[in-house]
Amino acid sequence: MSNIEPSNVKPSNIELGTIPLAEAPATKLEAAYIAKKIAPNNSNPNAPVWVFVHGWGASANTWAPLVDELKSQCEIWLLDLPSFGGNTQAVNSPSAVAADIAKILPANTVLVGWSLGGMLLPLIAQQIEQHWPTKTISHCIGLAANAKFAQGDNYTAAMPAETFQTFCANFNVDPTTTWSRFGLLQAQGDSNRKLVSRQIKALHNAPMPEQFTAWQQALTWLGAIDNRVLLCEITTPFLHLFGEGDALVPADAAVAMAGINPLHQTLVVASAGHVLHFSQPAKIAQIMLARVHAKRNKARVAKSFSNAATEYDSVAYLQQKLANTLCEWVPEQAEKIADLGCGTGYCGLQLQRPERDIYSLDLAQGMLHTARSKALAKQQLFSGVCADIECLPFISNGFDALVSGMSMQWCEDLPAVFSEAHRVLKPNGEMIFSTLGPQTLFELREAWAEADIKLGRQGCVHVNTFIELDRVEIAAKQAGFVIEQTSREIHVLTYDSVMPLMRELKTIGAHNVNPGQEQGLTGKARLKAMAQAYEQFRTAQGVLPLTYEVGFYQLLKV
């Protein structure tokens, strides 16, 4: 995922009224909510429809810059919330709005919401999960959307309650002036502040007198919504994007959201304020498309390693040996360190010093629980966050060093990994990591392939695949890193038979999580055929080898 330089971002030239529409809305409710339907030139009937929900003080027009980036790749529906844009519906509650939107959604949806619209997404997802079994939301993507907009009830990663109350009071007295000041706040903290301000003036309209009361009511919704419990309960995949300089929703909300639901991805977008899709539309579109089209199911990866957490250390002798090497490369002067993909916390324990602050991050909640228990047993502090290495919930320039032992191979988007790592490191900070190369598990991969050919079931994926280590180095350099040190090693584990080998892979969570895997149990005949094929690798010493190709890297942010 490449960074978009602020100087390259131009105001959108989209005129929403000129975009060809798909079929006209068929019902009164659809006519009220759906402002535009935009069909790509080559529509795929099986692809999800991207449905966009705007924030307070805006309308469907706010999405023009993103539409410019996405219109050729997906069908798009732009919604107007009640009393905004062209929607004159009178709706009394956020839950009623969510119910209305759930009714009009197509069968397969990617749901995108900004600010208030993003806070409505969990309510809409709940409606779909509970009342619409024939409909699916494949992904929810929230932009600058907090679990709770204002501080309170032990939630601090939000706007101060007094600030929000003052804003509401000012809007009640002078709506037009307050709305104008709101536009300035939305642009604040953005490196493209002038651009964002121009876009706000061009695409957001001030309230008319007949809208004042409804907009006041929508402000009360913004203050009343508390999605913390709901975000834990719904099963719809979520991606939460936050602007690093957002003056309305603090970037700290990313860490808070990651803690609320460990399966949700969070990402802090550098140099962005509240209106991310005005500031960096190309980058935001790229992030969203990468998430929706991801080949590897991150939820399955997280579940696999969570299930392995309690027994992981009993068989992770190679992983611990490699971690020892990794820890030796970490600079002694590094005081603030993030352990990315911390697993059961082995690296963090080795690196612990009285003067150090170590933050442990993992996609698997089960691993974090085990790591926390181990740290507390040794009377050490533990700061853990459940998040994805590709979407780090940390501010920029915050860490002296990043450590990642045998985790990078589970990532889908290496450019995003290194871009994020470069962002959160301080100048002259270092990233030290190990990862697996394509020769890893080659014996098992070839044995399965031979067995499938024998049984006439070619094309199945039984073994995780790993990318060329040269590509890792290229991605690191493209992100701006200098490679200070690198090493490649081959490690071979040995077993008496195939079954202990398979059990050990499952125990460390490294069994197959790739697309192409057949669902359900593997039959005895196939296991037997694979075991027979594996015999070709038995050594003169009478053991079965299993190869790991390992790359070690020390990178410098310059």
Distance CA 15, CA 31 (A): 20
Task: Choose the catalytic residue: 115, 304, 306, 360.
Answer: 115
16 is in an annotated binding site: no
184 is in an annotated binding site: yes
Closest CA to 271 of 188, 336, 185: 188
| Neighbour order of strands in the sheet with 357-362 | 383-386, 357-362, 336-340, 399-405, 425-436, 544-557, 481-495
Question: Chain centroid to CA 5: how far?
Answer: 21
- Residue 196: C-alpha distances to residues 94, 183, 272, 275 (Å): 28, 9, 10, 7
241 is in an annotated binding site: no
**Active-site annotation holds for 7:** no
Question: Are 270 and 192 a contacting pair, CB within 8 Å?
Answer: no
Closest CA to 527 of 464, 439, 444, 471: 444
Q: What is the DSSP string of 34-48?
A: EEEEE--SS--TTSP
274 is in an annotated binding site: yes
Largest pairwise CA distance in the chain: 87
552 is in an annotated binding site: no
Tokens representing 31? 């006519």
182 is in an annotated binding site: yes
Tokens representing 267? 């990402």
Task: Choose the catalytic residue: 204, 240, 264, 274.
Answer: 274
Distance CA 106, CA 325 (A): 52
**Active-site annotation holds for 274:** yes
Q: How many CB atoms are located within 10 Å of the residue 294 CB?
A: 16
Question: Chain centroid to CA 159: how far?
Answer: 23
115 is in an annotated binding site: yes
Distance CA 276, CA 143 (A): 7
Task: Choose the catalytic residue: 246, 313, 400, 452.
Answer: 246
Beta bridge partners of 268: 242
**Active-site annotation holds for 277:** no
Name 26's Cβ contacts closer than 8 Å, sequence gap at least 6: none
Q: Phi/psi of residue 147, each to 5°?
A: -70, -30
- Binding-site residues for substrate sit at 56, 115-116, 182-186, 274
The binding site comprises 56, 115-116, 182-186, 274
Give the residue numbers annotated as catalytic, written as ranges: 115, 246, 274
